[in-house]
């Protein structure tokens, strides 16, 4: 298989692909030693049998024709588990593909399970097998082997059949609109803007006090900015455990910083050590009354039994409806519903509320019962009561 290595060849193939109703897309990249992903290969395929491999590392190649195709409104761009691929396209082109379709999201709506893998869909839908021996190879090295190229192309050729089957199923069940919210998140630029000011949220689940959160905000923001500026993984700047220790202990000088078990010997005397202490001081200077605690931390945690019941209800509803639980409600959603009937969570809005949210509230309020019959969970109203739509009535 030949790689496209020139801008002219890339423009010709992208012009041809733009005439297709849809094109499947995947990328291979490396980011073990960098903050930002390094794009190493682009794969595309179309329903007319076209299969394309593009070398973005080829000297002098301009990816503008590929970016233009991603923005072309005439052709649907199909990915599987697209978040990292879309991040790359956003970074290199400043756009996000549109129209856009993610087969992993669609598969969850169609009942294939939570976060279903591409390999599983290839097995179940395309009735094929993938040789995964090249999956973790170094995609930045040249030349790429025939095995690597074959594996990479299979990531998009089978996706053609998968897309066609899933679209047909969505039309049959009239569930196309269920994907809109998930697709909107994936195609929002905000999803891919790595704002250092929001970096603390990744670690906030371990914090319990406003003062700790305030220090965490500043230290995590400093680390994120440093990682971006140096283009290295954030862990190369400071490990997560060290950030947590610093937020908890709030060391105000080099000596106090050096006493933390997660700080390497001598680190506290470096310029980086001084920067960390300065970040701690900024955190301590914050008005803690304005620090908003993360939602899961602020919840009382006294409704554990209700949450467990809601989990059972969710599983029962999803088995009946043939949809993956993850796309209906997260554990955070269930905890919020257990605490508050008016919680602002997706599970209490739109189609999710119709499918699950109303039943969840009815269960909380004693208007719904769970029982085991013939080895399965049955959702019913108490005898003589009225249940939400879609719930079996006791006869």
DSSP 354: I
Which long-range contacts does 330-338 make (Cβ < 8 Å, 24+ apart)?
Answer: 331/307, 332/295, 332/296, 334/307, 334/310, 334/360, 335/296, 335/299, 335/303, 335/307, 336/295, 336/299, 337/310, 337/361, 337/364, 338/303, 338/306, 338/307, 338/310, 338/364
User: What pLDDT is stored for residue 395 in this prediction?
Assistant: 33
Q: Please state the rounded mean pLDDT for residues 239-255.
A: 96
Q: Are strands 22-30 and 76-79 parallel, antiparallel or unpaired?
A: parallel
State what percent of residues in the chain have pLDDT above 90.
Answer: 77
Same fold, 5-189 and 301-378: no
Structure tokens of 86?
A: 């879309």
User: What pLDDT is stored for residue 299 in this prediction?
Assistant: 54
Q: 285 Cβ partners below 8 Å, 6+ apart? A: none
Average pLDDT, the chain: 91
Q: Are strands 22-30 and 38-45 parallel, antiparallel or unpaired?
A: antiparallel
The CATH number of 301-378, from 1.10.760, 1.10.150, 2.40.30, 1.20.1070, is 1.10.150
User: What pLDDT is stored for residue 394 in this prediction?
Assistant: 37
Q: 258 Cβ partners below 8 Å, 6+ apart? A: 265, 266, 267, 268, 269, 273
Structure tokens of 314?
A: 């969710």
Nearest alpha-carbon partner for 191 in 84, 68, 32, 114: 84
The model's pLDDT over 145-175, given as tens digits with 9 standing for 90+, comes to 999 999 999 999 999 999 999 999 999 999 9
Q: Please state the rounded mean pLDDT for residues 323-332.
A: 92
d(CA 71, CA 25): 13
Q: 180 Cβ partners below 8 Å, 6+ apart? A: none
The model's pLDDT over 255-272, given as tens digits with 9 standing for 90+, comes to 999 999 999 888 889 999
Q: How many CB atoms lie within 10 A of CB 368?
A: 22
| pLDDT higher than 90, residue 300 | no
Question: Which value, in Å, is the radius of gyration of the alpha carbons in the chain?
Answer: 25
The model's pLDDT over 335-384, given as tens digits with 9 standing for 90+, comes to 999 999 999 999 999 999 999 999 999 999 999 989 888 888 888 876 55
Q: 72 Cβ partners below 8 Å, 6+ apart? A: 18
d(CA 236, CA 137): 22
Structure tokens of 373?
A: 């019959």
Question: pLDDT tier at 23 (50, 70, 90 boundaries)?
Answer: very high
Q: Please state the rounded mean pLDDT for residues 177-199.
A: 91
Q: What does the domain layout of the chain look like in residue ranges?
A: 5-189, 194-283, 301-378
The CATH number of 5-189, from 3.30.70.100, 3.40.50.2300, 3.30.420.10, 3.40.50.970, is 3.30.420.10
Question: pLDDT tier at 26 (50, 70, 90 boundaries)?
Answer: very high
Residues β-bridged to residue 23: 77
User: What pLDDT is stored for residue 92 in this prediction?
Assistant: 96
Q: Please state the rounded mean pLDDT for residues 37-47.
A: 97
d(CA 222, CA 72): 38
| pLDDT higher than 70, residue 331 | yes
| pLDDT higher than 60, residue 15 | yes
Q: Model pTM? A: 0.86
| pLDDT higher than 90, residue 53 | yes
Q: Please state the rounded mean pLDDT for residues 227-238.
A: 96
Q: What are phi and psi of 186, to 5 degrees?
A: -65, -30
d(CA 118, CA 62): 29
User: What pLDDT is stored for residue 383 in this prediction?
Assistant: 55
Nearest alpha-carbon partner for 87 in 95, 78, 76: 95
DSSP 392: P
CATH number of the domain located at residue range(s) 194-283 in this protein: 1.10.150.80
Structure tokens of 292?
A: 């908003």
User: What pLDDT is stored for residue 382 in this prediction?
Assistant: 63
Q: Please state the rounded mean pLDDT for residues 282-287.
A: 95
Contact indicator for 25, 79 with CB cutoff of 8 Å: yes
């Amino acid at each position: 298989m030949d790689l496209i290595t020139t801008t002219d060849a890339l423009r010709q193939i992208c012009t041809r692909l733009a005439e297709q109703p849809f094109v499947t897309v995947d990328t291979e990249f490396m980011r073990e030693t960098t903050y930002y992903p390094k794009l190493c290969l682009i794969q595309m395929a179309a329903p007319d049998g076209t299969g394309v491999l593009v070398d973005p590392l080829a000297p002098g190649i301009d990816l503008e024709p590929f970016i233009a195709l991603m923005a072309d409104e005439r052709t649907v761009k199909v990915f599987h588990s697209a978040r990292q691929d879309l991040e790359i396209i956003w970074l290199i082109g400043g756009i996000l593909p549109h129209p856009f379709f993610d087969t992993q999201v669609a598969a969850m709506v169609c009942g294939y399970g939570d976060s279903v893998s591409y390999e599983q869909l290839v097995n179940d839908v395309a009735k094929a097998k993938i040789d995964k021996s090249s999956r973790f190879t170094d995609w930045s090295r040249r030349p790429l082997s025939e095995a690597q190229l074959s594996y990479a192309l299979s990531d998009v050729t089978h996706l053609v059949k998968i897309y066609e089957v899933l679209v047909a199923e969505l039309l049959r069940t009239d569930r196309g609109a269920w994907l809109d919210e998930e697709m909107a998140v994936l195609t929002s630029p905000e999803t891919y803007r790595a704002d250092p000011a929001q970096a603390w949220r990744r670690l906030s689940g371990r914090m319990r006090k406003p003062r700790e959160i305030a220090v965490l905000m500043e230290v995590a923001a400093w680390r994120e900015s440093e990682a971006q500026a140096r283009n290295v993984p954030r862990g190369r700047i400071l490990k997560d455990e060290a950030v947590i220790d610093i937020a908890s202990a709030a060391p105000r000088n080099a000596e106090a910083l050096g006493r933390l078990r997660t700080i390497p010997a001598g680190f506290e005397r470096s310029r980086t050590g001084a920067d960390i202490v300065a970040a701690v001081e900024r955190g301590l200077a914050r008005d803690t009354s304005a620090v908003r605690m993360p939602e899961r931390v602020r919840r009382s945690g006294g409704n554990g039994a209700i949450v467990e019941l809601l989990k059972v209800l969710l599983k029962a509803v999803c088995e009946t409806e043939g949809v993956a639980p993850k796309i209906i409600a997260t554990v955070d959603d269930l905890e919020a519903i257990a605490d508050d009937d008016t919680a602002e969570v997706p599970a209490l809005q739109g189609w999710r509320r119709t499918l699950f949210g109303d039943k969840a509230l009815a269960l909380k309020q004693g208007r719904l019962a769970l029982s085991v019959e013939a080895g399965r969970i049955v959702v019913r109203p108490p005898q003589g009561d009225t249940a939400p739509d879609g719930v079996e009535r006791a006869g």
